[in-house]
Each structure stands twice: as C-alpha cells, then as structure tokens.
C-alpha cells in the first residue's frame, strides 16, 4: 500500500538552529512528494514539492530532496526562525487520470516550536 | 481570491444531531476532498469527488455522506453525529489529478458532546 512515515514530534529548537524532519514513504508506483505546513488556527499550505527522483524542492529557506533509493524526502532548514513554528506534514500523491488518483497520503505531522 | 472556503468554522453538536459542512471553491477545480484531522493521526481521507455528480469513499467514510451537485461545492453530511466524529475537518481541491498542488480550506472544528 501507500503510506508516509515522518518523525514524531514535538521538535523544539532555538532560533537559528538547524532543522531536519525525517520523512520516508512506501508507494505502489512513482509518486510526487510534498511538504505542507499548518500554522496555528489555519489550513494546510503547500511548502514545497518534488515530482521525480533527485529533484530538490525549496521554499522560504526550506529544502527537501526526493531520494528514490532510500524512499525519503527529509525536510531541512539551515536556520529556523520563531515564525517557522507550525505543524509540518509530509505527503505523497500520484498524478494521472482516474477516479482513484489524486488523493494525498499524509504522514502524522510534526509539531515544530522555535524559541527566541 | 477566495480559494477554498469552508462553513461553518466551528460547531458544537449533540450526539444524534445532524449537520452539513459546506466546501466551496472558486478555482474551477475538478477534484475535491474531505479530510479529517485528529491528534497524532495526520489527515485521513473521508470522501472525495473527481467531478460534478461523482463521489467516492476514502479510507474513513463510515458515518458520513457527501454530495457534489455543483462543480464548485462539495458537501459533507453527518446524519447522526457521534463523539468519535469530534475532529477538525478540512476540504481540499485541485484542478485535476495532473495538477500537483491541492488547495486547502481553513478547516471546521466540530465537537460532538
């Protein structure tokens, strides 16, 4: 089946610390991979994505590389800020026509808290 | 641009009551989804729709019904609410399965007492 496993939180860091949130997946096919972010009281927003092996998605200082050999898509940021405090979700999605395609499979989410 | 709009944002129900959650999108998207979010569980798919007039079950469909009478609206119904349905509900939409990004609404926090 298809599933996403991400590291359990919560993760607590000081401002300017390095962040890694691990994400691995199992998939019956060749999915696209995503990181979504949920700020307090809000819906999910797309943070970054990668659609094929070795692609690197990046946005707002965050990066993640699609590693097919290790089925991973770890999220990293070199220097976190207080404003990065949120819940981060790793997800996969298959692209293509058909009634069973297009849904997102989510990990359980990782709560990040950054202290000043 | 409104994007994906969910109503209501908050609701408290008594066990056995019914209600309908409305999701509206103004992006002419074909695909629409209802997820529920529970602590430590991530988001789980309840039902989805690949176009007007079509719906399909997700991974946790029991106790819910949906309808997609108009392309822009996707309704989620609870016929007889149970405490286990206390959750945050998110609607999402995407143009097609060929488009990589899904857009999410702000969520509806439902409490069943």
Residue B39 neighbours by CB under 8 Å, 6+ apart:
none
Is B33 in the A-facing interface, judged by CB distances under 8 Å? yes
* B29 vs A40: CA distance, rounded Å: 26
Q: How far is B13 from chain A (nearest CA, A)?
A: 20
Interval A58-77: pLDDT, tens: 999 999 999 999 999 999 99
> A103 and B54: CB-CB below 8 Å?
no
> What is the separation, in whole angstroms, between the first and last Cα of chain A?
41
Q: Are A112 and A21 in contact (CB under 8 A)?
A: yes
Q: How far is B61 from chain A (nearest CA, A)?
A: 14
Q: Are A3 and A108 in contact (CB under 8 A)?
A: no
Instruction: From first to last of the 113 residues of chain B, give the pLDDT tens digit.
Output: 679 999 999 999 999 999 999 999 999 999 999 999 998 788 999 999 989 999 999 989 999 999 999 999 999 999 999 999 999 999 999 887 665 688 999 999 999 99
* A58 vs B33: CA distance, rounded Å: 26
Closest partner CB to B107 (pick from A43, A95, A102): A43
**Does residue A10 have a cis peptide bond before it, meaning omega lies within 30 degrees of 0?**
yes
CA-to-CA dists, residue A14 to A7, A11, A17, A40, angstroms: 19, 10, 6, 19
Pull the structure tokens for residue A72. Answer: 């991973």
Helix H, strand E, coil C: the string for chain B is CCCEEEECCEEEECCCCCEEEEEEECCCCCEEEEEEEECCCEEEEEEEEEECCEEEECCCCCCCEEECCCCCEEEEEECCCCHHHCEEEEEEEECCCCCCCCEECCCEEEEEC
> A44 and B90: CB-CB below 8 Å?
yes
Best mutation target, A59, A99, A100, A107, to test chain B (most B CBs within 10 A): A99
Chain B stretch 68-97, residues whose beta carbon is closer than 8 A to a beta carbon of chain A = 90, 92, 94, 96-97
Query: What's the DSSP call for residue A29?
Result: S
Interval A92-108: pLDDT, tens: 987 655 545 677 889 99
């Amino acid at each position: 089946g298809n599933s996403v496993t991400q590291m359990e939180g919560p993760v607590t860091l000081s401002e300017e610390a390095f962040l890694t949130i691990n994400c691995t997946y199992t998939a019956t096919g060749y999915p696209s991979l995503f990181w979504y972010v949920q700020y307090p009281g809000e819906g999910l927003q797309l943070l970054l994505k990668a659609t094929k092996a070795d692609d690197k998605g990046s946005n707002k200082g965050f990066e993640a590389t699609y590693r097919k050999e290790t089925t991973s898509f770890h999220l990293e940021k070199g220097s976190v800020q207080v404003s990065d405090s949120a819940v981060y979700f790793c997800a996969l999605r298959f692209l293509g026509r058909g009634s069973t395609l297009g849904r997102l499979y989510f990990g359980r989410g990782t709560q990040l808290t950054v202290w000043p | 641009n409104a994007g994906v709009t969910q109503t209501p944002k908050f609701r408290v129900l008594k066990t056995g009551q019914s209600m309908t959650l409305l999701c509206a999108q103004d992006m002419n998207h074909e695909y629409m989804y209802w997820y529920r979010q529970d602590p430590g569980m991530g988001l789980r798919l309840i039902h989805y729709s690949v176009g007007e007039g079509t719906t399909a079950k997700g991974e946790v469909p029991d106790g819910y019904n949906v309808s997609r009478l108009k392309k822009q609206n996707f309704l989620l119904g609870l016929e007889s609410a149970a405490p286990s349905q206390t959750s945050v509900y998110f609607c999402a939409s995407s143009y097609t399965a060929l488009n990589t990004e899904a857009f999410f609404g702000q969520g509806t926090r439902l409490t069943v007492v």
